[in-house]
Every structure is written in C-alpha cells, then in structure tokens.
Amino acid sequence: MKKTVFAVLCLALFAAPALHASDVDVGAYVRQESFRDIKLSPTGEYYATSVPLEDRTILAIVKRADNKVVGRFALERNNHVSNFDWVNPERVVISVAQKFGLLDEPSATGELFTLNTNGKSDILVGYRVQSAGPGTKIQAKKVEDVFARLVDDLPHDDKYVIISTSPFNAEAYTQAERLDVGTGHRVRITSAPVRRAEFITDAQGVVRFASGRNTDNAQQLYYRNGDGDEWTLINDENVSGSVQLPLGFSEDGKVAYLQVEQASGPDKVVARDVATGAMTPLLADDDTDPQVVLYRNASSVPVGLSYMDGRPRTAFFDTASHEAKLYRSLEQAFGGDPVRITSSTSDGKIALVQTWSDRNPGDFFLFDTVAMKAEHLLSRSDWVDPERMGTTTPISLPSRDGLTLHGYLTRPVGATGALPMVVMPHGGPFGVRDDWGFDRDVQILANAGYAVLQVNFRGSTGYGRAFNQAGARQWGGKMQDDLTDATRWAIAQGHTVADKICIYGASYGAYAALMGVAKEPGLYKCAVGYVGLYDLPMRHSALTRASDSGATFANQWMGDAASLAAVSPNRMADRIKVPVFLAAGGEDEITPIAHSEKMEAALRAAGVPVETLYVRTEGHGFYKPENRQKFYTQLLAFLSRSLGGGVASTSPAGGNATAR
C-alpha cells in the first residue's frame, strides 16, 4: 500500500548520497512527512489518509484490496485537512484549516465536510454553506457562520453524529446538536450552561457532561442524567480548588470517569457513581498526570490511560481486560517501544497500530488480532534512518528550592564524554511540556554534534496542579531558575563543559533564552530566540485587549503590568554579553514581529552582536519548508561559531537525502 498509494499522490521517495560527518542534511528534516494521519474504515475495506502537498493538505480514501484511490478531497489553495473521522463504512467527516491572508500557519475554520467512498464530497456546516435560494422552503443545511466540532461519531448509528457549535467569539456559549451526515440537517440537543464548553457523551450517545470556563477562567463541570434533564453543577474550581475533567462513562452509563486534580502530586483518575456522587480512585502515577485516554474498540468507553512517565507507558482500569492483554502483547512484540491502536474495524479483528520512539518518527502496522500477526503498512518519514539518530534519555534533578524537575537529555549517536550543549526550553509556558519521542529540532542539533537538554520547568503541564501553578507570575523568576539549575546539573554530571553551552527556544522558550543570557551572563555562550516575546508589558496589553478571559490570564499567570518591565529581555539588553540570533514571522499574531524588532534594537544599542532572519509572510513558527530550511541553516551556522558543531549541507528543502 505504501509505495502504490503515495506514488499515486506524487509522493514517491528517492535515495541520495551520504553526507560528510560534519554536515547536517537540513532538507531531510524540514521535508513534509509522507502523510499526516491514517485511519481504518469500520469494515476494514478502506483507509482514509491526509497527505500534505506544497500548498494544501488533501484527504484520500484508498481501497485496501487493490490500493486504488477511490475518493479525494481537496479544497482550493491554502486549505488544509486538519482532522477526519469515519462516521460509517462509506463516509468520512472532515475538519478544515485555512490560511487567512499572508498567515502561513493554517487556522481552523470550524467547517465540517464529508467525503464518500464513491468519491463524492459535500459541506455540512460552515461559512461556505450556500442557501437554496429565495422562495425555497426546504433548506436542509443552516446558512450561518459557526464553529463546529465533532463530539461523538456514534459508532452504532450510520446516519447521525453529535457535534458542538458556537459563534466565533472568545467567550461563546456552545450548544450540542445532532447532525445528519447525509443531508447536513442539524437539530439542537442542549446548550451548555457555561462558556467555552466541551461536551462528553455516554456509550449511547447521550450528552451528559459539559465542561467549560467563564471569564474568570475557573473550570465548571455540569452533569445531567439524560436528554431533557436540567444541568447540575458538580464541580466549581473556585470552590473545590481543583479541575475535574470528564473522560467518559462505563458501558451501562452508571459510572463516570473523571481526571481530578489533587492539592499536591499528580492528577488521579476516579470512578464516580452517577447516582450517589461517590468517587473511587482508579489510577494514579507517583509524579505524572494521565496524558492520553485509551478507549474500548468502536466505543467512547474509557478502559485505560497512557502516561508520559519519562517514556510513555500504559495502565488499565482492569488489568485482565481484553484491551490490557492486547496492549501488553503489542508492547512485547515491538520490543518495548510505545504502541497506540489508532483505529480498528468495528468487530475488532483488524487494528491499525502506530509505534514510534525517540529515534523514529513513526511506523504503522496492520495487526490481525485473531492470528496475532502484524504487517508493516507505511512510515511517516522513511528517509530517516533511526540508527543514525540521537538517543533521548529521561532525567530528573532537584531545583534549588527542592522541587523535582523532569526532562530529557539527547546525545548524538555514538558520542561519549562531555559535549557542547544546547539548552532548549519549551514554549507555552503553561499547558505545554516536553515529551519523549522523535523531535526534529532536537535531532538536527544532535546531528550537528550537540547534546540537547530539555527540562520541564515549574509551570509545565503533566505533573499536577501544584507544579503547574508554581510557575504562575514567575516569568524571569523561578521558572528561569529551574533552567539555570538544570544547566548547572548537566555540567556537574559531566554531560557538557561550562564554556560550551548555548540556549535556544521558540515563543516562551525564546523569552527564556534571552532571559537566560541576561540573568546568567557567564553561563551561556550564545542565545537564539525564534518567534519570541521579549516585551512582557506589550504581551500583557495584547491579552487584556483580546478578551476578559485573556485579561484574567495575564494578571493571574503573568503578573500585573507594572511589574513585568523589570523581567522583559528587551529592557535588559545591557546585561547581555554574548551573540544573539533572532528569527520571526511578519504575520505572527501570537508574538508579533514587533517583539523581535524591539529586542534587536535594544541589543544593537547595547553593542551586542545580533543577527536576524525575518520572513514577512510567516506566522508563529515558519510553515513553508524553504523558510524552515533557511532558519535551520542560519541557526547551525550561528551555533557553530560559538560551539564548533556541524553546519547545514546544501541539499534543497524537501530533498530526498537520508538524515544523518
């Protein structure tokens, strides 16, 4: 299937000669993956797969028997398939993202389309729905500008799905609707009693939970017994001091599964008796929150969890269940690498299994659950040679005030002893964390000969409420100290040497990189900021103007505007004594290019060596391969001047060289 399908879609792969050891084939890393996602139809007769092209992302339906493409969905230039789900054996529902103006990072449009196995496609919901015309009494589809999401594909109902719709408003109320996937006709089921709500259904497709946040950003969870019943508030974060996230229901609907924050330590998953409200603990890790919910085949019934506990690991509510035994067999068969059943036939006999690692972007296998045999289907990036990739090891270390910090250290393949190192703080900073897996930025740096240090500083998600909230109002403070402590830990452990370290990050990570060289002028030899924010009062003002909830977030998590100038890197340029590289996009609406321009001006005024790469048609993170190649080429050259690592080769973006 792999070679046939992607030949049809003009994505055939070619070999290329190996590179000199000091070169980094950046073109191989910025090249588009062969596909974005792939899902098996309920009968197993077809695959649906999203395929990125140069100016759009298309969806193809492929018949398994002969690898023939029987359906293709593609909108005009700059429109992208962002998500899709099989809703019956012959039909896929598609969510779309679009580029607006010069913004090169696609943004969700809230539209829902369908593609059938006979090749026909249609729009169900969204601004492109056309009126049947004046005087027409029959109008199946509503002509209105709303944002729609799929809530439940109703596996046992081929005609209807449950969706949520809301106006394009940052503080909108959401309603749940029943959508006819053939005609586009929508019928309201219920409206959420809280803003920005998401709905959870039970195994019978009844909407029973609504979880949302009002302008104070505190979570509220509402429950109802069934259709027609009133909503009842069962958790208010302002009262309980914790968030309770609904995960789903038992098959009979008598038990609800919730992920509940704790006063200290990681979240727990509990079983709530919906009749009495009694909650029984089910699963909890010693330091890590649940990351992914695992469901029973062809249902919305949760059966287990995946934790990012250094490396991914799975845990199940019932260790003797069919799902638990199947996962244990798969994990053993794939040598302990993480596995995930991404889709399966409705009878459960054939499953599509994804496996990946720190050195492999991912492979997909067809697994016969009866014969217990796996057949390789395709790879995300089969020009990447896992044997030549760096190895990522989970680490933990104490902060100066006693918090345990977790993170990752990646070393080039075959490297020994102390190495020049790049510290790479993640973005966010809240609601984000670094994970174990294949990271292209990390591997580019490892390929150039660097050790790469990533640390989930306080404020990162995934380690419980207290750890997350410990980062509030700590911009340039304890969050920054955690990065400093991790860097000094790496020196003390012999992973690097004190005069061979640079710091590089994107978005908040760029802020942390520039704050790092301002606050610790002797620790780093250079700094790189990519699509960064450097003027905190400007960011605070932008959030406050955007919405009431944005203003609440700015005050609660950043701090009051008057105090933020003192921890803004562009106001501290005179303390920076090492070279700086800044890159930004002119259409960035999250951290506008003005942040980088102000940072550049301040550095030049202070006499700090600075170089820049500004791409006026890019947004928050460069999207086009040729622009990403320019960035990584300049990044490696910049780092090499301070640390002596490898530089980029001259292969073209999207080239076919084997990554080394």
pLDDT digits (tens, 9 = 90+) for 248-282: 999 999 999 999 999 999 999 999 999 999 999 99
Measured distance CA(338)–CA(328) in Å, rounded: 11
Query: What does DSSP assign to residue 569?
Result: G
Please determine, for residue 167, whether its predicted confidence score (pLDDT) is greater than 80: yes
Weakest mean pLDDT among 3-17, 55-69, 131-145, 623-637: 3-17
Q: What are phi and psi of 642, to 5 degrees?
A: -100, -35
Pairing label, strands 526-530, 501-506 = parallel
Q: Of 451, 400, 407, 457, which Cα lies nearest the Cα of 427?
A: 457
Task: Give the confidence band of 373 by pLDDT, cuts at 50, 70, 90.
Answer: very high
Name the phi and psi angles at 538, rounded to 5.
-65, -40
Report for 72-81, 88-97, 170-179: range of highest mean pLDDT: 88-97
pLDDT at 105: 66
Say if CB 339 and CB 242 are below 8 A apart: no
The band of 9, judged by pLDDT with boundaries at 50, 70 and 90, is very low
Q: How many CA atoms lie within 13 A of 175 on its CB side?
A: 11
Calculate mean pLDDT across residues 10-16.
32
pLDDT above 80 (res 654): no
Four-residue CA torsion sign, 510, 514, 519, 525? positive
pLDDT for the residue 98: 85
Listing from the earlier edge strand, what are the strands of the sheet with 290-295?
A: 290-295, 302-309, 311-316
Q: Which residue has the higher pLDDT, 117 or 589?
A: 117
Q: What is the spatial distance between Cα 62 and Cα 157, in angstroms, rounded to a whole number?
A: 23
Q: Is 499 left (phi over 0), alpha (psi -120 to 50) or beta?
A: alpha
How many C-beta neighbours within 10 Å does residue 648 have? 22
Tell me how far the alpha carbon of residue 633 is from its chain's centroid: 25
Mean pLDDT, the chain, integer: 91
Q: Return the pLDDT at 598.
A: 98
Looking at residue 612, its pLDDT comes to 98
Q: What pLDDT shows up at residue 652? A: 59
- State which H helix or E strand residue 268 sits in: strand 268-273
CATH fold for domain 386-648: Rossmann fold (3.40.50)
Supply the pLDDT for residue 601. 98
401-453 pLDDT, tens digit each: 999 999 999 999 999 999 999 999 999 999 999 999 999 999 999 999 999 99
Confidence of residue 104 (pLDDT cuts 50, 70, 90): low
Using CA atoms, how far apart are residues 355 and 337, in angstroms rounded to an integer? 7
The answer to whether the beta carbons of residues 208 and 193 sit under 8 Å apart is no
Q: pLDDT value at position 656?
A: 37
- Give the mean model confidence (pLDDT) for residues 583-606: 95
DSSP 111: E
Is the bond into 429 cis (omega within 30 degrees of 0)?
Answer: yes
Could you tell me which of 591, 584, 585, 552 has the C-alpha nearest to residue 568? 591
Residue 350 CB coordination number (10 Å): 17
What is the C-alpha separation between 503 and 96, in angstroms, rounded?
36
574 three-class SS:
helix
Share of the chain above pLDDT 70, in %: 93
pLDDT(5) > 80 = no
pLDDT score, position 171: 84
Q: What is the radius of gyration, based on Cα positions, of the chain?
A: 25
Mind spelling out the 3-state secondary structure of 511-559? HHHHHHHHHCCCCCCEEEEECCCCCHHHHHHHHHHHCHHHHHHHHHHHC
Strand order in the sheet with 404-411: 391-398, 404-411, 451-456, 421-423, 501-506, 526-530, 580-585, 610-615
pLDDT number for residue 14 = 28
Query: How confident is the model over 227-256, as pLDDT tens digits?
Result: 999 999 999 999 999 999 999 999 999 999
Query: In terms of pTM, does the model score above 0.85?
Result: yes
Q: Compare 78 and 112 and report the one with higher pLDDT.
A: 112
